Amino acid sequence: MTEPAGGIHTKTTLVDITKCIGCRACQVACKHWNEGEGEATELEYNLGFQNPATLSAKTLTLITFHELPNEQAQGGLNYLFTMRRCLHCLEPACTSACPTTALARMADGPVGYDADKCIGCRYCVWACPWGVPTPEWDSLTPKIKKCTHCADREDQPVPLERNSVPLTADETDRYKKSITTPACVKACPADALTFGDRDSILQDAHARIAAHPDKYVDHIYGEKEAGGTTVVYLSSVPFEKIGFPDVGTKPYPGFSRTALHAVPPAVIAVGAMLGGVYSFMKRRTVALIAAAENNSALASKPKFAPLDAPLLTPFNWGLLALMAFGVISLITRFVLGLGGSTHLSNTYPWGLWIVFDLVWIAVAAGAFATAGIIYVFQRKDLYSLGRSAVLMGLLSYSFVTVTLIADLGLPWNSYQLALQSPEQSAMFEVSWCVGLYVTILLLEFLPVPFERWGLARAMAIWQKWSGAYVAGAVTLFVFLLSRNYVYAALAAVVFSALAWLFRAKDKKPEPIILAIAAVTLSTMHQSSLGSLFLLMPDKLAPQWWSPVMPISFFLSSIAAGTGLVIVIEMWIARGWNRPTPMRQLAAMGQITFWSLLVYAIFRLADMGVRGQFAGAFGGTMGALFIAELVVGFVIPLALLARQSSRMLPRTLFLGASLTTAGVVFNRINVVYFAMHVKGAMPQVAPEHYAPSIFEWGISVGLIATTIFLFGLGVRLMPVLPAKETIQGD
Ligand code: SF4
Ligand code: SF4
Ligand code: SF4
């Protein structure tokens, strides 16, 4: 990348490692300029006098110490000292991750940070290939810290005079140049740091290599790395020998750009396609009903009734105790802050709560899958499963948002998600999509309480306006993601047309437009959860990382969601002594089977096409991969393959449970086991992670709350089919 247009120079620092004497004046100057607190001296046995071991919220630049064996050198060792800090990428992974543009690249190069915009999601910490951004774990309001290339030094006022003598224009220019030079560069006594515009800095670096080929390796680290950086290095030894990772030359945002830019047109296309599918299936169903007048499964809908069962059972007392534990943990989280209540660290900025959210969103896909199957694909034989699936989905997604808020370091800045327009951020997409989907789930479920308590006027308003709400919500979503008026207008036209065409025309309306919106939004956020990890090709093991992870995440969510619907329905039947609707559950099992098969074929074919099978089965990662294949693919596919097997309750239960468990295992692998995290720069001291009691408390408390409220909901409202209408096995 050359200089940007408009005559703006890209500020760049050259670090000539061969000149550094390890005095750490830059480290001190940086701390002084940024008013960073001191850190206790802790020397690690393998790091020499390097202190502290890594970057942190208190130390934004660090001199690393390297002792390299060299028989010719005095003492048999070469000593090298290296300045490590943010490299100010030309196309930074951190800014493309940030959902609120709190991290943004300035036109002249520095990647700056605006704490007022930051929500504390810590996605930037995961995304940076060098482990640069670090949260203030000690603070109740943990901001992100990193080198700003001293961009804020420009804000200093230029004095008008010196010793009462006005400065000349030349002196003013020299002063300006001097104060905009980074504090670390000014402090360096050994001329190891040079600051200037990128083109001339690179010319200088190439000239030094050409003049002294015996002194330098022929490599300017940062010239091409990750698309190029504006802190570049010269060294006398290959960079891998002094801990510089090979991050490739592709800019990291390029890994997720295509997937995220596809979302706005995909919303319009998926909505239109689902409308077409519904029209076709509806005509087909009407024809089938006419042809088979006695086909009760097609023609009639089951009756629903509140469950008649005592609420305060020992099981529910247990749930209430766990909920109390959850409330205490949630309060503790905000009283002690993230650092005080969790075991999160610079190595594991995301922990149990994010695993929990990923898993819960995947398995809660049963709500959109069931609604889509029943209403869009007109599987009326599965109608009796719809209300419980939607209620479970609504509760699950609501509590996912609670966990997300607990996980944010600065949740009170969440309104920034509505004000900012990041060019591409999977986190931004997921946040909006999940938020809007919760409202769609609520609208899908509202007819149940309206019916229960005879709220005819509310039902009339729901009938009249839910279509308009969907059109507005989807249009807003498309606009926020694309900031493109053409896409927004197309979304408005398509979803308004669908809302009008499929508007309620009788007293028992089908929420077609809501089902279409639910499937569309779910398709987007289930896949964008996969896009979150596209920025981590260097960290995620190749058995899991793939450019088509978004599609894998979406396909697997259908299998997991429909599998969980089966499991929940069988628990309901057993727990409340009701008949098991085996015919419907076996039909759902067939859908689970096919969606799992498509997911398995897609994932394995992708690995084959990318040549990833070589070495995929070796070592710990290989064992995890094999376990995922066997437990999540082979056994459930074998169990669910035949209709006769699916009609056997135990076989169906096991097949559905393993399908869901396989996807759960996949998400845990992606976030935890298969993620090679190395901690903060220079990535020499990774921390371990085990969730704290409060992390467990919030997670377990929210699961207990979901189960308790589901039980309460089915007792109060007609969510489950009336016992006498269930066609048992
Ligand atoms: S080195 Fe990391 S933190 Fe710095 S600009 Fe690049 S991606 Fe962002
Ligand atoms: S909003 Fe998230 S990604 Fe952006 S700077 Fe803050 S913590 Fe980092
Ligand atoms: S440029 Fe400024 S903030 Fe960055 S390392 Fe140097 S002194 Fe610190």
Ligand 3 lined by 184 (C-beta under 6 Å)? yes
Give pLDDT, residue 727.
64
132 alpha carbon, closest ligand: 1
For residue 702, pLDDT over 60 is answered with: yes
For residue 64, pLDDT over 80 is answered with: yes
Backbone phi, then psi, for 576, in 5-degree steps?
-110, 20
Ligand 3 lined by 29 (C-beta under 6 Å)? yes
Quickly list H helices, 364-511.
366-371, 386-407, 416-419, 426-445, 447-452, 456-482, 485-501
Ligand 2 lined by 120 (C-beta under 6 Å)? yes
Ligand 1 lined by 111 (C-beta under 6 Å)? yes
Atom of ligand 3 nearest to the CA of 150: 2
- Mind listing the pLDDT tens digit for each residue in 269-321? 999 999 999 999 988 888 887 777 655 555 567 889 999 999 999 999 999 99
Tell me, what's the ipTM? 0.96
Backbone phi, then psi, for 80, in 5-degree steps?
-125, 145
Ligand 3 lined by 150 (C-beta under 6 Å)? yes
Choose among 535, 206, 557: nearest CA to 360: 557
Report the share of the chain in percent with pLDDT over 90. Answer: 83
* Cα of 113 from ligand 3 centre, angstroms: 13
Measured by CA distance, the residue closest to atom 2 of ligand 2 is 121
Q: How confident is the model at residue 6 (pLDDT cuts 50, 70, 90)?
A: very low
Atom of ligand 3 nearest to the CA of 183: 7
Ligand 2 lined by 122 (C-beta under 6 Å)? yes
- Measured between alpha carbons, how far is 115 from 106 in angstroms, rounded to an integer? 16
- Mind listing the pLDDT tens digit for each residue in 550-599? 999 999 999 999 999 999 999 999 999 999 999 999 999 999 999 999 99
Give pLDDT, residue 508.
64
- Measured between alpha carbons, how far is 356 from 699 in angstroms, rounded to an integer? 7
Give pLDDT, residue 296.
56
Residue 256: Cβ-neighbour burial (10 angstroms; 0-12, 13-18, 19+): buried
Ligand 1 lined by 130 (C-beta under 6 Å)? yes
Residue 609, amino acid: V
186 alpha carbon, closest ligand: 3
Lowest mean pLDDT among 5-19, 384-398, 427-441, 642-656: 5-19
Measured by CA distance, the residue closest to atom 8 of ligand 1 is 94
- Mind listing the pLDDT tens digit for each residue in 500-543? 998 877 666 678 999 999 999 999 999 999 999 999 999 999 99
Exposure class string for 309-323: b at 16+ Cβ within 10 A, else e: eeeeeeebeebeebb
For residue 2, pLDDT over 70 is answered with: no
Ligand 3 lined by 60 (C-beta under 6 Å)? yes
Give pLDDT, residue 5.
43
Mean pLDDT over residues 669-679, rounded? Answer: 94
For residue 252, pLDDT over 70 is answered with: yes
Residue 38: Cβ-neighbour burial (10 angstroms; 0-12, 13-18, 19+): exposed
Domains for the chain: give ranges and CATH numbers: 11-251 (3.30.70.20), 536-676 (no CATH)
Ligand 3 lined by 182 (C-beta under 6 Å)? yes
Lowest mean pLDDT among 34-43, 199-208, 228-237: 34-43
Mean pLDDT over residues 147-167, rounded? Answer: 87
Ligand 3 lined by 231 (C-beta under 6 Å)? no
Positive or negative torsion for Cα 439, 443, 446, 448: negative
Q: Choose which residue among 150, 153, 156 to substitute to test ligand 3 binding: the one with the highest number of ligand atoms within 8 A of its C-beta.
A: 150
Atom of ligand 3 nearest to the CA of 34: 3
Choose among 81, 306, 43: nearest CA to 188: 81
Ligand 1 lined by 231 (C-beta under 6 Å)? no
- Measured between alpha carbons, how far is 566 from 378 in angstroms, rounded to an integer? 19
Atom of ligand 2 nearest to the CA of 121: 2
Ligand 3 lined by 491 (C-beta under 6 Å)? no
* Cα of 429 from ligand 2 centre, angstroms: 14
Measured by CA distance, the residue closest to atom 5 of ligand 3 is 61
- Mind listing the pLDDT tens digit for each residue in 322-362? 999 999 999 999 999 999 999 999 999 999 999 999 999 99
Mean pLDDT over residues 92-113, rounded? Answer: 96
Atom of ligand 3 nearest to the CA of 149: 1
- Mind listing the pLDDT tens digit for each residue in 455-466? 999 999 998 999
Mean pLDDT over residues 137-159, rounded? Answer: 91
- Residue whose entry in the numeric block shows the structure tokens 């020299």: 174
